[in-house]
Structure 1
Amino acid sequence: MAEKPREWKYGAHRVRIEPPDIAVATFEGPITMDDVKRTSEIYKEVYDILGPYYILAEIGRSQIEAAGRRYLSENNRSEWFKGCVYVGADIVQQTFGKAISLAMLFTGKSSFETTFVKTLDDARAWVLQNRARSQRKAG
């Protein structure tokens, strides 16, 4: 049986899996509606491979229109994610990122944390802290 894809590239954007439970999405430039739909499909594929996971979304060099944000909030599912970390977001992107996450939480079956950091290293550090916190709660 063929191994499932571990990296997806579409346009100027990319999503890759970092085992055991992280996906890093890197967005460059405008994010079209086709890109948004593909992103949502990939996020679901990652969930099918990993189960719930942390999404680290590098969005600082990208732009997304209102229709794309709405599509993400309506089509992504909160149960896919353990946490969402936006990397490099400006204040406007932070506002929209939080709104997308809140919309998913209102329509989803589970909750997850959303945070904003400056670098991918900061994002990975946040994931380590979040995992430790989750293990303490479960233990």
Structure 2
Amino acid sequence: MNLYRELAKEQPYFVLSDMQASMGMDAEAKRYMSENIRSEWFLGMILFNTRLLHRAIAKGVVFAAALTRSPDDPPRTKIQFVATREKALELLEQWRAQADGGRG
């Protein structure tokens, strides 16, 4: 969590996450992340190898963050679910191009 926070001090960033790998994370660690992660740290999140439960939790975290933000601060975190790492990398390239304004 500290790494996410420190990186975000420089600028928001994109996150790719293999949710199958998160299956080994214990419940206390998952709870801590859901309570302490901040959507303003991220430009977008791409999650792959997800189950329905992962999708519901991720959407819930983003929704909770949106409820706590200032009305003057528009939501900026995109979240997308894809099947594979390869699809996640393709989508990341598209998002980076959009963020760069197509400058490549």
Query: Which TM-score band (shorter chain)?
Result: 0.7 to 0.9
**2:100 and 2:42 mapped to 1: Cα distance?**
16
Whether the 8 Å CA contact 1:60–1:89 is kept in 2: the answer is: yes
Structure 1 equivalent of residue 81 of structure 2: 116
Does 122-131 or 55-64 show the bigger shift?
55-64
Q: 1:125 aligns with which of 90, 100, 103?
A: 90
Is the partner of 2:89 in helix, strand or coil?
helix
Matches within 5 A, 1:102-113: 102-108=63-69, 109=73, 110-113=75-78
Backbone CA RMSD of aligned residues: 2.4
| Structure 2 length-normalised TM | 0.73
Higher-helix-fraction structure: 2
Q: 2:35 aligns with which of 74, 94, 105?
A: 74
Q: Deviations over 1:11-40 (max 9, x none)?
A: xxxxxxxxxxxxxxxxxxxxxxxxxxxxx2
Q: Which runs of 5+ in 2 are unaligned?
A: none
Q: How many residue pairs are counted as aligned between the two chains?
A: 96
2:17 aligned with 1:62: no
Q: Deviations over 1:66-111 (max 9, x none)?
A: x544433332222210001112111111111111122122224442
Greater relative contact order (CA < 8 Å, ≥ 6 in sequence): 2
Whether the 8 Å CA contact 1:53–1:81 is kept in 2: the answer is: yes
Query: Identity of paired residues, percent?
Result: 28
**2:38 and 2:30 mapped to 1: Cα distance?**
14
Higher-strand-fraction structure: 1
Q: 1:47 aligns with which of 8, 28, 40?
A: 8
